Each structure stands twice: as C-alpha cells, then as structure tokens.
Amino acid sequence: MTILQNAIDSIQLGIEDYELIKENPKRLISCTRNLFSGILLLFKYYLYTLNPDLIYIALKSKEKKKTLDFKQLKDKLDESQVLIEWGELEKIQKIRNDIEHKYSDENPLIILGLVAASFNVINDFVRKYLQRDPIELFGEEVWSILIEVDRVYQIERKQCINDLDSNTYYNIKILELIKQSNCSECRFDLIKPLKNNADADQIRYRCLFCFQENDYHELIVSAIEQEVDYQQRRDSMFGDSLNELFCTCPSCWMNAYSIESCFCFSCEYQAKQICDVCESSLTGDEISFQSKFCSSCRNRYEKVMAE
C-alpha cells in the first residue's frame, strides 16, 4: 500500500469517526488521531515524490530506517519551501495531545474546530502541492462532510467578527489585528467580546473553543506577538530584512507600541519618535527609553563631551 493510499485511508477513517461521535464520544480520540496522521502522511508523500530519501532519517545502524517525526517533517518542508499554515496543524496536534484530560466533549465546537482545521490544511495542500482534486482523492461523501463542517464553523467565526465590529476602538488597526488573531491557549480564532456596543478596552473576551478569558490588554499583546511572529517568519523565508514593528511602550511598559502607527495599542500613548538633532527616526529601544537622540547623534555628543 502506498503512502498516499495510507493518507487517504486515515483521513476517510477520521471522518467516519467524526460521524459516529454523537453515538460514542470516545470516537473523538480516534477521529483526531486519524486526521492528524493522515495529514502528516500527505506531507510525507509529497516529500517522497521530490526525493524518497527525504522522508527518512539516518540511524546508527545503516540497515535501519526511521521516518520523520512531526518536527523533522516540518523542518524538511520548510527547507523545501513548502508553504503550510502550521497554525492550523498545531491546533489539531494540541487537541490530540490534550483531548483525554483537558477538553470536554460537551463542547461541540471542539469537534467542529478539529474538522474545520483539518479541512483547511487538506484542501490547500492537496490542490497546491499534490495538484489533485480532493473530491477524487477522498470521495464525494467525505468531502461534502468536510465542506459542511467548515461552513458551520465559518458561521460561528462570522458571528465573532460581527460582535468585535460592534465595539469602539481607538484605531481601526487595533480591530483588524484582533480579528486576525487566535486564542493564545488553543490557537483557534473564535474570540468573542463579552459585551457588544462597548469600548473595546473596557471589556473582557472569551474563546468559544477553550473558554479562556482575557482582558483587552492581554488580548492585544497576544495579537501583536502573533503578528510579529508571522511577519518575521515570512521575511525570513523570502530573505527580506526584518522590520521592527512594535516595541515596549514607555508609558504602560506593555510590548504594544506600534512604531508604524505612532501610538500604543494598549494604552494609546503617543511617544516621541524623532531625533531632536537630525530628525531621523528613533529605534524601538530609543522610543522605549524616551531618548531625545538617535544613536549616531548621541555618540557624537558623547565624543564631544569627552574631549
């Protein structure tokens, strides 16, 4: 049996398990395992088509071979410049790791989020890299279930967006950053404000998936960390220079001061960002410590004073 067929079988079994969860909640465990392993097998199959040796790691014994684990597989795909939304897969992995002791099967969004995240990864990867029609690979019945689950998940997601839109923000950029962020605990994007038509910085927020609650300041710092991480990974992959997007606010000391927008996303403070002497832009550290001069002007000043 080929790697691809194993992948197809695992994903089909995962969807069969999903359909039986209402009758037997324990099926959630096998559903998660089958979907996760099926997706990893799709990745391994693609690497195998590039070079069969890519899916193995060398062991001390030359006669033995061992296939890549999750981290090694991720590294190989990154090296091969395969663009995968790892955040989606990490959601599935986290559910798989935590499902027996942390999450309750009483929350239907757990199941919905699991299958929706699987759909996103499978659909994108099969079409982009395997250049196959997923309906032909997995069958009409399996694919129609995946599409329906994603549709229902997106309804929940849209309601969260509408609730976020109803509130008032100091700047529209803050709203956009929050809307594209994920829960810091479970990585799902079903973040809902606990009040509508309110000032965004005066209310709390809850993840509908894992029920974690955060205040506004915790939420915005997490959203910023995710945005910075994404930009750094993108710039690194394409060989671009890393741009400094945020720094520590000199007023509230949260890592939420936007250098580009010239204000703090947490406390709205507007700091000095221009050198008093040459009028060049200050760096993030210089902004954070409220320096009046850029490093070049400060060095010249200190040199003159030393003489």
Residue range 42-81, pLDDT digits in tens: 999 999 998 888 777 644 445 456 677 788 888 888 888 8
CA distance 161 to 135: 30
Asked whether residue 122 falls in the same domain as residue 9, the answer is yes
Is the pLDDT at 159 greater than 90? The verdict is yes
Last residue of a domain, one of 155, 178, 207: 155
Is 17 contained in some domain? yes
Task: Give yes or no for a contact between 175 and 145, defined as CB atoms under 8 angstroms apart.
Answer: no
Last residue of a domain, one of 237, 262, 290: 237
Is 161 contained in some domain? no
- Neighbouring CB atoms inside 10 A of 228's CB total 16
Is 248 contained in some domain? no
Give the H or E element holding residue 65: strand 65-67
Task: Give tens-digit pLDDT for 71-92.
Answer: 888 888 888 888 888 888 888 8
Is 82 contained in some domain? yes
Asked whether residue 49 falls in the same domain as residue 89, the answer is yes
CA distance 14 to 11: 5
Q: How far apart are the first and last CA of the chain?
A: 80
Is 179 contained in some domain? yes
Asked whether residue 7 falls in the same domain as residue 149, the answer is yes
Task: Give yes or no for a contact between 214 and 186, defined as CB atoms under 8 angstroms apart.
Answer: no
The model carries a pTM of: 0.79
How many domains are contained in the chain? 3
CA distance 214 to 217: 8
> 197 in helix, strand or coil?
coil
Asked whether residue 86 falls in the same domain as residue 136, the answer is yes
Q: Give the domain range for residue 272.
A: 254-306
CA distance 53 to 211: 43
Asked whether residue 74 falls in the same domain as residue 175, the answer is no
Is 247 contained in some domain? no
